[in-house]
């Protein structure tokens, strides 16, 4: 009698990507940070801050069978609204207008994995449409920040569908997901005000742009 072959080993990765310097772009990172602080998941489930690492994440996913990704995405809903995409739906969700270099990296990550002969069995994206990106160095907008609990609930529901036990933390140490320097409380408390940081851009450039826009409105020309 032929012996049954052993079941393939499962590896689950929860990944948050985004640029904390670009307001709502930091949504994915803040989601995995909140997951690590507020919930207990098995030690063999990786919870990672992918930041803007892009293709550098490929080695981390080469043996992943299940990937749960939190990110800011340009879906068709209203700004601040959530969306869930699974498996073959994901390229359609991630293939629209690119908002940053890291999002190009997300597409390239999974294309690179396929070129290397690996494709996760299950890929789920929990995404949010950003409200604000151009507040350079700014925080998440209130609308996006308020959606983090709902995004976590969607992600946890997905993990449980995959058979992962997730419990609300009632005590004990939190899982460190992001480095101390960019943990939300520390990062937010050290942020300079918009007036000091001029996060909208260089005042000299903004003055030139405003003058050009005023001129174009007067002459009916296209903005520069």
Tens-digit pLDDT profile for residues 49-80? 999 888 899 999 999 999 999 999 988 889 99
| Greater pLDDT, 193 or 118 | 118
Contact 174, 36 (CB under 8 A): yes
Residue 221: predicted pLDDT: 57
Alpha-carbon torsion (199, 203, 208, 210), positive or negative: positive
Contact 155, 35 (CB under 8 A): yes
Residue 92: predicted pLDDT: 67
Place of tokens 């700004």: 79
Which CATH number describes the domain made up of 12-189? 3.40.50.1450
- pLDDT for residue 116 is more than 90: yes
Contact 173, 179 (CB under 8 A): no
User: Mean pLDDT, the chain, as a whole number?
Assistant: 85
How far apart, in Å, are the Cα atoms of 193 and each of 6, 66, 177?
58, 41, 27
Domain locations in the chain as residue ranges: 12-189, 192-224
| Greater pLDDT, 205 or 212 | 212
Residue 40: predicted pLDDT: 96
Gap between the Cα atoms of 75 and 24, Å rounded: 14
Q: Which residues are within 8 A (CB) of 172 and not within 5 positions of it... i.e. 6 or more apart? A: 40
For the segment 134-158, what is each residue's pLDDT rounded down to a tens digit?
Answer: 888 889 999 999 999 999 999 999 9
The pLDDT > 90 percentage for the chain reads 53
Contact 68, 158 (CB under 8 A): yes
Q: Residue 161 CB: number of other CB atoms within 10 A? A: 12
Gap between the Cα atoms of 119 and 90, Å rounded: 13
**Burial annotation 34-70 (CB, 10 A radius, 16+ → b, else e):** bbbeebbbeeebbbbbbbbbbeebbebbeebbbbbbb
Query: How far is residue 86 CA from its own chain's centroid?
Result: 15
Structure tokens at 105: 């990296």
Place of tokens 């449980």: 160
Lowest mean pLDDT among 1-15, 168-182, 183-197: 1-15
- Helix, strand, coil percentages (3-state) for the chain, rounded to 5, are 40, 15, 40
Structure tokens at 74: 């340009």
Residue 97: predicted pLDDT: 44
Q: Residue 113 CB: number of other CB atoms within 10 A? A: 19
């Amino acid at each position: 009698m032929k012996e049954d072959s052993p079941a393939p080993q499962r590896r689950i990765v929860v990944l948050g990507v985004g640029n904390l310097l670009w307001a709502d772009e930091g949504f994915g990172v803040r989601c995995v940070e909140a997951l690590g602080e507020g919930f207990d998941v098995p030690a063999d489930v990786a919870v990672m801050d992918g930041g803007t690492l892009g293709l550098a994440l490929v080695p981390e996913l080469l043996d992943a069978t299940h990937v749960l990704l939190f990110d800011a995405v340009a879906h068709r809903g209203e700004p601040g609204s959530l969306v869930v995409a699974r498996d073959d739906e994901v390229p359609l969700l991630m293939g629209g207008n690119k908002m940053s270099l890291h999002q190009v990296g997300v597409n390239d990550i999974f294309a690179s994995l396929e070129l290397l002969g690996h494709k996760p069995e299950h890929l789920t994206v929990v995404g949010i449409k950003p409200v604000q990106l151009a507040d350079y160095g700014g925080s998440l907008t209130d609308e996006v920040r308020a959606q983090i609990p709902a995004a976590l609930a969607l992600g946890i529901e997905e993990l449980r569908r995959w058979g992962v036990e997730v419990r609300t933390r009632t005590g004990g140490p939190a899982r460190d997901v992001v480095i101390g320097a960019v943990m939300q409380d520390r990062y937010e408390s050290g942020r300079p005000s918009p007036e000091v940081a001029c996060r909208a851009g260089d005042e000299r450039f903004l003055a030139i742009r405003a003058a050009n826009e005023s001129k174009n409105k007067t002459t009916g020309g296209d903005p520069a």
